[in-house]
Amino acid sequence: MPRSVNYDRVAAGYDRRYTENTYADIEALLNEFTSPGLTVLEVGCGTGHWLARLRSRGCTVVGLDRSSGMLSCAVDQVGDAKLVLGRAEALPFPARSFDRIVVINALHHFDAPARFVSEAYRVLRSGGRICVVGLDPSQGPEEWFIYEYFRRTRELDKARYPSTVKIM
């Protein structure tokens, strides 16, 4: 069984990843997926990095995470935006609340991804859309730097990340 990360403990240094790596492809995808005026829920919002980007585009943003430490950091990035402590499998929002839902590198942390999908469709408005971004270690090159330094990580990731085929 793969070990889980204590995100409350790592929250303070988590955003270092955004200064040390470029995520231009995710930013471009979000720009294409959203537009000003939409109400967007990010499930697994962490420290609020992507919420801040979406908010700067003119979206009304809501973030949900199960780590209070991460949400404490998110307040610094998104100020008075609504941030909710909760679980992806039981979204604490009324039906038809959101135009878009985004999940960025978080699906593999959900205890029941299929239950999350049901919840996502419940809270999406008519015509709403969901975007899931994540690593699929069962496909593609083995060039991720983490795999180079931690040899067993790729096999552990294969066990915990759902494959693209499985989530489609």
Three-state secondary structure call for residue 161: coil
- Could you read off the pLDDT tens digit of each residue along the chain, which spans 168 residues? 344 556 666 666 666 666 666 778 889 999 999 999 999 999 999 999 999 999 999 999 999 999 998 899 899 889 889 999 999 999 999 999 999 999 998 887 888 888 999 999 999 999 999 999 876 666 665 555 556 655 676 677 777 666 666 655
Question: Which residue in the block uniquely carries the two structure tokens 């015509």?
Answer: 127
Contacts of 129 (CB under 8 A, 6+ apart): 33, 99, 100, 101
Q: What is the largest CA-CA distance in the chain?
A: 45
User: CA neighbours within 13 Å on the CB side: how many for 36?
Assistant: 3
Report field, pTM of the whole predicted structure over 0.85: no
Over the range 73-99, which residues count as b (16 or more CB within 10 Å of their CB) and which as e? bbeebbeebebbeebbbebebeeebbb
Residues forming CATH 3.40.50.150 domain(s) in the chain: 7-134
> Into which CATH architecture does domain 7-134 fall?
3-Layer(aba) Sandwich (3.40)
Is beta strand 98-104 parallel, antiparallel or unpaired with respect to 82-85?
Answer: unpaired
Contacts of 39 (CB under 8 A, 6+ apart): 59, 60, 61, 62, 97, 98, 99, 100
